[in-house]
Structure 1
Amino acid sequence: MSSSNQPSKARGQAKSLEGTVTETVGNVVGSKNWQTSGKKTHAEGEAETKAAETQGYVEGTIDRVTGKIDNVVGAVTGDTTKQTKAAAREEKGKLQQDLNA
């Protein structure tokens, strides 16, 4: 799900770092424009990182809930294959939530 219009942790962190470097260079050379530009770029990067984390957490929640429902359905119907797949999806969702908490 790494479409260019979707938030990306990696892209956000890179942009944040770029902003920090630009601001630091601005501080060293005394350029207010670079300082301001760096702060703005850093903030944009931090916002994108946070948006990507939020999106990942929500996707993890969906997987956990869907997995739990499918697990119950599998248990009620006696479909052990469905239960196994559901448990895996539920665990995947939990991991995704943990990575984005």
Structure 2
Amino acid sequence: MSSDPSKTSGQFHSTKGNVVEAIGNLTGATSWQQSGKEEHAKGEAEYKAAQVQGYAEGTADRITGKKDAVVGAVTGDKSQQAEGNARHDKGEAQQELNSSV
């Protein structure tokens, strides 16, 4: 099992925590209210951590891609230049997807 944060898992636990807390509010069960709040908070934290990780990975791809594109252009290696541009663009898209950090 992976220990990396996951947006999907974070959203699941955040939503589940909200549901558990709502049930606790409806029934007056303070233990459910508390455990729901805790699970929601943990889910939100995991989601944010996954965003940060995704943004950092996008930054690494942008930098590496730009380097490869420049090296390819300087050496005349069109394949390396194209691959570098593609990696740069992939990293840029990943950063945009995770930019509300």
Q: Which residue in 1 is equivalent to 2:79?
A: 81
Matched residue of 2:12: which SS? helix
TM-score normalised per structure 1: 0.96
Name which of 51, 62, 65 aligns with 1:64: 62
Residue segments in structure 2 that go unaligned for 5+ positions in a row: none
Alignment pair present for 1:50 and 2:48: yes
RMSD across aligned positions (CA): 0.7
Shift of 1:70: 0.7
The one-letter amino acid of 2:10's match is G
**1:32-63 deviations in whole A, cap 9, x for unaligned?**
11111000000000000000010000000000
TM-score normalised per structure 2: 0.96
Residue segments in structure 1 that go unaligned for 5+ positions in a row: none
Shift of 1:4: 2.0
Identity score, percent:
57
How many Å separate the matches in 1 of 2:54 and 2:43?
Answer: 17
Q: How many residues of Structure 1 are paired with residues of Structure 2 in the alignment?
A: 99
How many Å separate the matches in 1 of 2:2 and 2:71?
Answer: 37
Matched residue of 2:23: which SS? helix
Matched residue of 1:4: which SS? coil
